[in-house]
Amino acid sequence: MALLFFALGFLLTRLLLPGVLQVITAAGFLRPNYRQENIPLGAGIVFLLNILLATPLLLLWFALARSGPWPGLSAADQKTWLLFLFGATVFTALGLLDDVWGNRETTGLKGHLRQLLAGRLTTGGIKFVFGGSAALIAALLLGGTWWEVVVNTLTIALSVNLINLLDLRPGRAGKGYLLVTALLLPQTWPGLPAQMLLLLTGSLLAYLPADLKARAMLGDTGANLLGSFLGLAAATLPVGAFKYTYLAVLLLLHLIAEKYSFSKIIARSRILSFLDQLGRG
């Protein structure tokens, strides 16, 4: 089952990516990367397209492979699947909005919050408000006590923003996703959240060479979706030591990011720098 999700994510993205990059290039949606080379931005839209195409194929497989009422999934799994589709769609849309209309004059959570309090709405502010609202909706749908809703809202929202913070160099956001996924898979296995992480992991690994070779940029479009799957998978876990530790690390990393540059921190560490450079052209 795990292999099916992973393989489908990988194969569909291999098929979709050339066409997606062609469409972006033809539209002239090119932006300078950190080396000032104009390359397609928002290529992470391929993840959402992958998920939308893979979902009916997987549901059909479940229906044919399992006896019982359509679509061969429990009510809990149906709810979880819809939750991941909701997160993928909403957070991709918010990321695409920032890629298309955003600027980089205001950065960081503190900066966007300051602009909001001053009555100026930025695309980062839109992501802050409506991304937070989407995280709250997901947490409410997951249910639980008011405290669990708070924990889950923060877990989802901060996971999304963490991958955005990493998306400053080729492949860095993808590597961050893979690292966190490696931590979450043992906790969520063998449930549907683990399978959804593997679906996206397969898609990411098919896309990653283009990102590492600086032929395409994820943009917030892709980074948001990567982060949303991590946050949703973590949010489905029961409140306990792992979940509190995960949230504490997220909060710590965001506090660090408000004062220091992740790029500078990585550059000063031999191990982190090696991992950051791994696979780049």
Q: How confident is the model at residue 123 (pLDDT cuts 50, 70, 90)?
A: confident
Percent of all residues in the chain with a pLDDT value above 90, rounded to a whole number: 72
- Give first-to-last CA distance, the chain, whole Å: 34
d(CA 72, CA 44): 30
Q: Which two tokens stand for residue 149?
A: 């809703």
Number of domains in the chain: 1
* Helices and strands: H and E segment counts in the chain: 12, 2
Q: How confident is the model at residue 109 (pLDDT cuts 50, 70, 90)?
A: low
Within a domain: 66: no
Within a domain: 168: yes
- Residues 219/42, Cβ–Cβ less than 8 Å: yes
Within a domain: 194: yes
Q: What is the pTM for the complete model shown?
A: 0.93
**Cis omega before residue 190 (within 30°)?**
yes
197-255 confidence digits (pLDDT tens):
999 999 999 999 999 998 999 999 999 999 999 999 999 999 999 999 999 999 999 99
- Which pLDDT does position 63 carry in this prediction? 83
- Residues 73/81, Cβ–Cβ less than 8 Å: yes
Q: How confident is the model at residue 173 (pLDDT cuts 50, 70, 90)?
A: very high
Within a domain: 68: no
- Residues 221/44, Cβ–Cβ less than 8 Å: yes
The phi, psi pair for 279, rounded to 5°, reads 90, -5
Q: Please compute Rg for the chain using Cα positions.
A: 18
Within a domain: 70: no
Within a domain: 67: no
Within a domain: 69: no
The number of residues in the chain equals: 281
Within a domain: 201: yes
Domain containing residue 121: 2-61+76-277
